[in-house]
Amino acid sequence: MKIMRAGLFAIVLWVLIFFEVSILMFGLGLGEGNSIFHTIHFIFASLFVIVLGFAYFYPKKVKKGFLEGLLLGIIFVLVGIILDVIIIIPLFIIPQGGSYLFLIKPYIFLQEIWTIVLCFLVGMIKK
């Protein structure tokens, strides 16, 4: 596993999702409680994970397989959580009266599990 490469792709994933959620919330006016918001976000986040997963496994020097995909998914999730704790929660959630409990909302937890599953599947496909 190339940790630095995986970390870089995880940061790119987080940035893509940040902009996607920002467009949905502020550009289209969809709120967090809106089912359309969750559906569109789920589709786009899944596409981002799949594309970045395949991009990570693209060079021939990167080891491929289901275990590598699982580790990639875990890195994607851990880096996302760290960046959320450092940037999103202090700047956007707490000023609106929220707290760090934001990270244990069911849809966020399901998205993290889904990210790991998708990366696992991409690793299996690339094997």
What is the residue-wise DSSP string for 51-84?
Answer: HHHHHHT-STTS--SHHHHHHHHHHHHHHHHHHI
Token duo for residue 20: 């996607």
> What dihedral do alpha carbons 101, 103, 108, 109 form, nearest 10°?
-90
Q: What is the pLDDT of residue 109?
A: 93
pLDDT above 90 (res 56): yes
The pLDDT tens digits for 13-45 are 999 999 999 999 999 999 878 899 999 999 999
Q: Is the pLDDT of residue 49 over 80?
A: yes
Q: For 67-95, write each residue's pLDDT tens digit.
A: 999 999 999 999 999 999 999 999 988 88
- On the question of pLDDT at 62 being above 90, the answer is no
pTM of the full structure: 0.92
pLDDT at 32: 76
pLDDT over threshold 80, residue 111:
yes
Cβ count within 10 A of residue 36: 11
- Mean pLDDT (the chain) is 93
Q: What is the CA radius of gyration of the chain?
A: 15
